[in-house]
């Protein structure tokens, strides 16, 4: 339902979207993107810059920018904000120690003027791992005010599972 929400907001004649996929390092952004594109996910290494994939989905052309989430790269995120239609924020549900860092980075993004018109989709990834936070805990961790403003929170048990991924 998440990606569908973004697509429904578009006028029918506008059939192309620019989506920016962000999150802390090791959240699973590249795995999600590659799995969604039907690519092999067995040999993924940390993204040190960015990946761009263009996908066709339900008649829409999706240009997805997957940007590395290492602390040293986060200051460069702003270089990708221009013309962004949707922001996909990926949360590692099993990384409890960095949940506050995750929340802070998301809040910083939400005040960016160039992202003001973008729809936000939050992927709660890796919920199949031991000790992972529930989607309700993720909701509380990202701030109820964010979720109440029409943000889609999608629980993603395992980004390696194509069936669960396609529901986002």
Binding-site annotation: residue ranges for Mg(2+):
30, 47
DSSP-derived letter for residue 127 is: T
Rounded-to-integer distance, Cα 46 and Cα 135, Å: 25
Nearest to 55 by CA among 75, 74, 39: 39
* 70 assigned to active site: yes
Which residue is catalytic, options 70, 97, 100, 103?
70
Binding-site annotation: residue ranges for GTP:
23-30, 69, 125-128
How big is the chain by its Cα radius of gyration, in Å? 15
Strand-pair partners of 120:
87
Nearest to 155 by CA among 168, 146, 143, 145: 168
Catalytic annotation, residues: 70
């Amino acid at each position: 339902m998440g990606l569908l929400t973004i697509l429904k907001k578009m006028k029918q004649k506008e059939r192309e979207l620019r989506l920016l996929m962000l999150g802390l390092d090791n959240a699973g952004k590249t795995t999600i993107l590659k799995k969604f594109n039907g690519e092999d996910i067995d040999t993924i290494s940390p993204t040190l810059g960015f990946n761009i994939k263009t996908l066709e989905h339900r008649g829409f052309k999706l240009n997805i920018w997957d940007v590395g989430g290492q602390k040293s790269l986060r200051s460069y995120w702003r270089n990708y904000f221009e013309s962004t239609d949707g922001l996909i924020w990926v949360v590692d549900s099993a990384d409890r120690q960095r949940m506050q860092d995750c929340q802070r980075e998301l809040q910083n993004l939400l005040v960016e003027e160039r992202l003001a018109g973008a729809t936000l989709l939050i992927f709660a990834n890796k919920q199949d791992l031991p000790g992972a936070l529930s989607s309700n805990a993720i909701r509380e961790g990202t701030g109820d005010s964010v979720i109440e403003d029409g943000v889609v929170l999608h629980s993603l048990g395992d980004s390696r599972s194509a069936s669960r991924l396609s529901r986002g």
